[in-house]
Structure 1
Amino acid sequence: MSTLNILSGGAAQGLVGSLTSAFKGLTGFDIAGEFGAVGAMADKLRKGTPADVVILTAALVAKLAEEKLVVAGSMADVGLVETALAFRTGDPQTTVRDAADLREALLASDAIFVPDTRASTAGIHVANVLQQLGVADEVSARLRIFPNGATAMRELAASEARRPIGCTQSTEIISTKGVTLSGSLPSGCELATMYTAGITTAAAHPQRAQDLIGLLTGAGQHEQRKRAGFIGGRDQVPA
């Protein structure tokens, strides 16, 4: 069986999953690989984990290209992903209009579900926001930290806490059953991250890798990207 291997940030897992059938119909290849914190995925590539394609933050893919691990000319933006709030489906949602509302929502929660605060894009940002809001010490015991946003959201969905809340990238919230996207972080606390795909220099199937990037970024997938939580990308440029 022919397989294209990818290493990707968790933000792109839902989008890649939605394109798997189309990719197989186009190329005959299945898609396999890992999704997780972008820093961890980059380190896997550096340590020799086989991969044809990476889908990581634009800055990280550019760094890997500098390290000669990604073909610079293959890089293509998939779209922006916002860091957002999530609630367990069915729970009352708190309206968060500004930083004060966000501070109040975090302090009112008895469990806060987040991805890795050292290696994931959203997790690092959440840790910074908690410091910015002056609540890091007060809520530290309530943090529930997981390797990636998808796992954090699954745990939020299954949580038995009285009033849990989650914070990760919108794409990971949208693709997880049992949690509801509440909205992006408010002005002053917001983060929108560009995700970029690239072909690795050690790709076993570079042409198939290019085919996948074409699907991920092409104008024909605008609605799929939008449903998955991506903003912008090449589809916003008129043909």
Structure 2
Amino acid sequence: MHIKPVMSRLIALGAISLALCASTVQADEIDVMNSGGFTAAYKSLQPKFEAATGHALATAWGPSMGKAPEAIPNRLQRGEPADVVIMVGYALDELIKQGRVIAGSRVDLADSRIGMAVRSGAAKPDISTVAGLKSALLGAQSIAYSDSASGVYIERELFKKLGIEEQVKPKARMIQKTPVAALVAGGQYELGFQQVSEILPVQGVDFVARIPEQVQSITTFAAGIPVGAKHPDAARALIRYLASPEARADVIKSGLDPRQ
């Protein structure tokens, strides 16, 4: 005679349990800070991740380093919200050392190489050899490169390696904020150097080639979780997806080399 009340209580408890379980897998809005080199791959993968998980990605863009207010370290310094940061590996390591990104959360996503762009229709220099690259730089009227990892390498190391620093320095400029390829497309600069993945999406330029491997600088893009992230579990899910075999084709198409 007490079966029905007992069953009713069990059903009620079961419903509460299911509701609690459902709440633990609720969709979150993941705040992501992403730097330029991984942008094209990220934009391609974002809708696939959102469709598969129900999570939404709210993205802020900026370089991995530098003085620009949009730079990821500067955004974090101002207290902007972030669950995931995607940036140059050594810049991420610096944030880990500073205690601003969780130690052990770093995951390598892809390797990026530097390439050259010219305005659409312009002659493409042969830079398949170190000698060819040197000749192209010496013969150019103007040269532009980014203020992120690739540009820092070009300005501080590449010109010196080629032995042409004094000749090219007066006509070369590091560009902040604006994509280098966009300025080449507009005719402001004859040659532009940037991560290949940042050149390919820009209209109005032709991708020439990667610079020779002997003088190439490979930048690893990695992801990590900032200290104080509001959605660390969702953040880990996103990072796992970006580093997974399922993401490989999109990463390659963007001009990057997958780490997996």
Which of 181, 195, 199 in structure 2 is aligned with 1:153? 181
Percentage of pairs with the same residue: 25
1:80 paired to 2:108: no
In the other structure, the counterpart of 1:124 is: 152
1:217, distance to aligned residue in structure 2 (A): 0.8
1:51 partner letter = A
1:230 paired to 2:256: yes
CA RMSD, Structure 1 to Structure 2 (Å): 2.1
Structure-1-length-normalised TM-score: 0.86
* C-alpha distance in structure 2 between counterparts of 1:209 and 1:46, whole Å: 20
Gaps of 5+ in 2: 1-26
Structure-2-length-normalised TM-score: 0.80
**8 A contact 1:84–1:168 mirrored in 2:** yes
**8 A contact 2:88–2:220 mirrored in 1:** yes
**8 A contact 1:3–1:32 mirrored in 2:** no
* C-alpha distance in structure 1 between counterparts of 2:39 and 2:153, whole Å: 20
1:30 paired to 2:26: no
Runs of 4+ in 1 over 4 A off after TM superposition: none
Equivalent residues, number: 228
SS of the residue 2:215 aligns to: coil
1:102 partner letter = L
In the other structure, the counterpart of 2:8 is: none
Gaps of 5+ in 1: 235-239
- Mark the structure with the bigger radius of gyration: 2
Change in 2 beyond 3 A, CA 1:72/1:17:
same
Change in 2 beyond 3 A, CA 1:155/1:3:
farther
Q: After superposition, where does 1:38-187 map in structure 2 within 5 Å? A: 38-39=65-66, 40-116=71-147, 120-127=148-155, 128-148=157-177, 151-159=179-187, 164-187=190-213
Change in 2 beyond 3 A, CA 1:189/1:63:
same
User: Which deviates the most, 10-19 or 151-160?
Assistant: 151-160
1:20 paired to 2:49: no
**8 A contact 1:27–1:208 mirrored in 2:** no
In the other structure, the counterpart of 1:189 is: 215
